[in-house]
C-alpha cells in the first residue's frame, strides 16, 4: 500500500528505516533543518537522513499544511506519523487515513512525553498504541496495542525497545486494506512535556525517586542539580534502594566507595553517580570527575 511517512526524531528515523526495507514511502514529511549541538550547526532531522539515503522525496516543513499538495499528488491512501512535532490540521487529516504511533497504552499518558512520564511515575508497564488520528489529542480509535515492559530502563533505552515493538504491527497495517479499529477504554492520563524544574534532583528525597528522574530525563532534557551555584548534570545513575542507617553523611554529600561514586539521599539511601557533566565541561565518568574534585556537596 502506498503511504506517506511523517516524522522527525531519531526514533522515527529508526522506524522509517525498518518499515521501508519492506516498502518505501511515497513521500516523507519532516521538520525543517535547525541548529543542533553546542556549535548550533544547521542540521537536518534524522528522518531526512534516512529519506535521503533511500532517495525518497522529502518535504521539510514545520506546518504540515504546506505539504498538502505534495501529499495529494502521491496518490497514497494511508499516512504513518511518528514523533513529527506538529499537529495535523483538518485539511491534512482529510487527505489521508492517518495512523499515529504512540508509546503508551492509551488512554494512559496521552500527550508529548508518555515514556518520560511513565518512568518518572515509576510505571514499568508501557507499550505501543497504533491508532487512527482524529481531531483530539491521542484520542482516536486503536488499530492495535502491544504491552512492553520498560523496567530498569531510561527513556533512550525504552524508546528503542518500544520502536522495535512497533515494526511488525506497522507492516501489518500497511498490508491491511480496511483495518478494523476499536475505541480506547480505561483510565485517562496526560503526559505533558517535562519542564526544567521537574528535572531538578532533590536529594532530600530517597535515591529511588532521584533515579526515576535521572532515567526519565535521559537522553533529554537531562537531570540536574547544583554545585557551588552552577548547574551540574547527572546523565546516568543507579541505586540498590537499600538503606544504610549507619551513615552519617549529610544530604547531597558525594563520597567514593571502592571504585564507585555515591551521593547521599534521604532515608540513608545513596544514588550511584555513573556519568556526569559539570558546568561548561563535557560528559565524563563520575569517578574521573570525583578524582579531580574530591568530596563535595551537591545541591548547594
The whole-number pLDDT of residue 244 equals 67
* Domain over 196-293 is classified CATH 2.160.20.10: no
pLDDT of residue 228: 93
C-alpha cell at 219: 537522553
Residue whose C-alpha cell reads 487512527 in the numeric block: 132
Tell me the torsion sign for CA atoms 222, 226, 232, 238. negative
Q: Provide the CATH number for the domain formed by 3-175 in this structure.
A: 3.40.50.170
Q: Give the CA-trace dihedral at 265, 270, 274, 275, to 10 degrees.
A: 0
Q: What global pTM score does this model have?
A: 0.94
- Separation between Cα atoms, residue 233 and residue 224, nearest integer Å: 4
How many separate helices (H) and strands (E) can be counted in the chain?
Answer: 8, 15
Q: Is the dihedral of CA 76, 24, 9, 213 positive or negative?
A: positive
Q: Would you call 89 helix, strand, or coil by DSSP?
A: coil
pLDDT at position 37, please? 76
pLDDT digits (tens, 9 = 90+) for 194-224: 999 999 999 999 999 999 999 999 999 999 9
Compute the half-sphere exposure of residue 281: CA atoms within 13 Å on the CB side of its CA.
16
- Please report which helix (H) or strand (E) contains residue 213, including its range: helix 207-216
- Of 33, 53, 153, 64, nearest to 103 by C-alpha is 153
Domain with CATH 3.10.25.10 in the chain: 196-293
pLDDT at 139: 97
The CA distance from 212 to 219, in Å, is 13
Mean pLDDT by 10 residues, the chain (300 residues): 95 97 95 87 96 96 96 96 94 96 98 97 96 95 98 97 98 96 96 96 96 97 96 95 71 93 92 96 96 92
According to CATH, where is 3.40.50.170 located in the chain?
Answer: 3-175
Tens of pLDDT, residues 152-188: 999 999 999 999 999 999 999 999 999 999 999 999 9
Amino acid at each position: 500500500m502506498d503511504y506517506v511517512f511523517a516524522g522527525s526524531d531519531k526514533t522515527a528515523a529508526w522506524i522509517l528505516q525498518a518499515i521501508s526495507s519492506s516498502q518505501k514511502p511515497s513521500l516523507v514529511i519532516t521538520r525543517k533543518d535547525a541548529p543542533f549541538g553546542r556549535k548550533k550547526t544547521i542540521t537536518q532531522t534524522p528522518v531526512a537522513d534516512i529519506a535521503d539515503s533511500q532517495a525518497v522525496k522529502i518535504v521539510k516543513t514545520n506546518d504540515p499544511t504546506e505539504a498538502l499538495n505534495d501529499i495529494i499528488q502521491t496518490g497514497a491512501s494511508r499516512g504513518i506519523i511518528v514523533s513529527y512535532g506538529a499537529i495535523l490540521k483538518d485539511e491534512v487529516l482529510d487527505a489521508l487515513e492517518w495512523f499515529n504511533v504512540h508509546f503508551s497504552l492509551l488512554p494512559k499518558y496521552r500527550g508529548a512525553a508518555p515514556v518520560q512520564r511513565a518512568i518518572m511515575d515509576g510505571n514499568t508497564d508501557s507499550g505501543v498504541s497504533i491508532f487512527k488520528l482524529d481531531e483530539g489529542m491521542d484520542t482516536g480509535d486503536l488499530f492495535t496495542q502491544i504491552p512492553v515492559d520498560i523496567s530498569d530502563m531510561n527513556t533512550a533505552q525504552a524508546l528503542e525497545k518500544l520502536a522495535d515493538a512497533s515494526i511488525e504491527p506497522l507492516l501489518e497495517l500497511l498490508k491491511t486494506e480496511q483495518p478494523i479499529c476499536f475505541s480506547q477504554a480505561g483510565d485517562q492520563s496526560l503526559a505533558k512535556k517535562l519542564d526544567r524544574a521537574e528535572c531538578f534532583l532533590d536529594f532530600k528525597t530517597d535515591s529511588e525517586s532521584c533515579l526515576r528522574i535521572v532515567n526519565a530525563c535521559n537522553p533529554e532534557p537531562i537531570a540536574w542539580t547544583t554545585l557551588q551555584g552552577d548547574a551540574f548534570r547527572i546523565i546516568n545513575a543507579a541505586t540498590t534502594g537499600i538503606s544504610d542507617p549507619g551513615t552519617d553523611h549529610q544530604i547531597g554529600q558525594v563520597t567514593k566507595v571502592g571504585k564507585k561514586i555515591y551521593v547521599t539521599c534521604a532515608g540513608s539511601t545513596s544514588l550511584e553517580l555513573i556519568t556526569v557533566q559539570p558546568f561548561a565541561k563535557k560528559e565524563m565518568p563520575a569517578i574521573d570527575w570525583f578524582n579531580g574534585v574530591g568530596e563535595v556537596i551537591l545541591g548547594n
